[in-house]
Amino acid sequence: MEDNRPPYCAPRWHTHTFVHDYGSRATRSPAPYKKDGNNVRGPQQLMALFRYSLLSLVVASLFVASTVAVLPGRRMGFSVTHLAPRASLNQTWGQYSPYFATTPYQSPPDDCEISQVNVIERHGARYPTNGATERILEALAQFDNVTEFTDAKAAFLANYSYDLGVSTLIRAGAEESYDAGAEIFARYNALVSDDAIPFVRASGSDRVVDSATNWTAGFSAASDYFFNPTLNLIISEELNDTLDDAMCPNVGDSDAQTDQWTSIFAAPIVERLNSAAIGANLTATNIYNLMSMCSFDTLAKETPSPFCDLFTEDEFEGFAYVGDLDKYYGTGYGQELGRVQGVGYINELIARLTGEAVVDNTQTNRTLDSSNETFPLDRTIYADFSHDNQMIAIYSAMGLFPQTTALDPTSPDASRTWRAANLVPFAARMVTERLACGEETYVRVLVNDALQPLEFCGSGDGTCTLDAFVESQAYARNNGEGDFEKCGWVPESSS
């Protein structure tokens, strides 16, 4: 059934502006704190958390009853995880997978209290980009030449009309970011008070900005509107932007590796679908783009797409590996100038964790990072919004997800930990927690709720001292150890 609703970006009550007027709520005096186990909560936080928990129980019961509660601009109970026609299929869509937590969240050790949280999050689910749209349309045009469909599953293509938008967020993507904001409040509300509101930045793309404002809306709603963060800073993607680096013109790409694997895994699919659609003359590249429609069409229409039924689960595993290769050889370990693009953010993270000024000679904007208005060092929660390729560079610069051998473009290693669906699904997030454990300060890093081992700082159990963590980040602290100079960036003017 055709969906004639307008594109869904930010919730209607929350647009992407810098300043929001919430009346007197923003000027109340901080409430006295009360110790509660490992958390410190004031009466306002406790009441907000109770209301949020009660709302969650109500929503869950309504979902079980197959009833959808509706709020302005938001459908409570909607879950993209139930849209795929087959179980777990949506986790084989690579970077086009909807958000999912790869493991349940693990609380910090009993003798530790969280003192600071740093979130960097990918934008939520979107329509295909301009380039992807062109490639999808090229694949669909092949069916104009079909004289006969011999497989009923492909027959819908005889009269199919492409109707997706371009690049902007979809409703499912808005939900992902909204829910992420609510989750951060529920998990870390002890860090929130009138004087401790999250500081929020976003890279300049519309879908990233809208994701940030959806996140702040979810955070506010979860607190029953006691605490209302706003988007404090939008960073232009033209120059110095640690949330979307554009300062490495010499960087290579992943085309050789992704093309090689696509030609291998898609070969039998080409033969099968060309037999199912006589005259289509599909290529391996066409197959990949048709497979991407399983995700894009499903998430946009909020119902399983007929494109999904054209392919098997094993074939989608092959599709997912294209995404793994793309990220690994695009801005990951397989790209010589990949991880250097994440150095600026790592140095900003170190500054926040230590409370000391940013020291960096790569992507950071010195004007912004030297001002307390645009880069404060006294907040308890920071939330930044970015893109998948940038987050891959950041993971790699930090040392997360190392592989014993480079990804093979001819044969996937089933034991690999480098999987785009686990690393950068839509609304992916890396959370760095600073912990106070007695007299010592520690750091934990979670990616999509999975606690990272941090073996590079001598941990292995996911918790290492702040000093050891900072020491382990020598690549970033040394400005990419010469890699940034290889990028070929020539600034028009210093910033």
Residues taking part in catalysis: 123, 388
CA distance 172 to 259: 30
Distance CA 9, CA 255 (A): 31
Closest CA to 464 of 439, 446, 445, 450: 445
Nearest CA to 402 out of 412, 417, 389 is that of: 417
Looking from the CA of 447 toward its CB, the CA atoms found within 13 Å total 23
Beta strands in 246-403 (DSSP E): 277-278, 381-386
Q: How many residues are recorded in the chain?
A: 495
- The three-state secondary structure class of 232 is strand
Which of 304, 296, 332 shows the shortest CA–CA distance to 129? Answer: 296
The residues with which 465 forms a beta bridge, in sequence order, are: 442
CA 188 to chain centroid, in Å, comes to 19
Q: Are 123 and 177 in contact (CB under 8 A)?
A: yes
Q: How many CB atoms lie within 10 A of CB 207?
A: 26
CA distances from 170 to 14, 98, 126, 349 (A): 16, 12, 5, 30
Q: Amino acid identity, residue 469?
A: F
DSSP structure string for 40-95:
EE-HHHHHHHHHHHHHHHHHHHHHHTT--EEETTEEET--GGG-SSSTTGGGGSGG
Dist. CA 374–CA 368, nearest whole Å:
5
| C-alpha span between 281 and 124 (Å, rounded) | 35
Q: Quick check: helix, strand or coil at residue 209?
A: helix
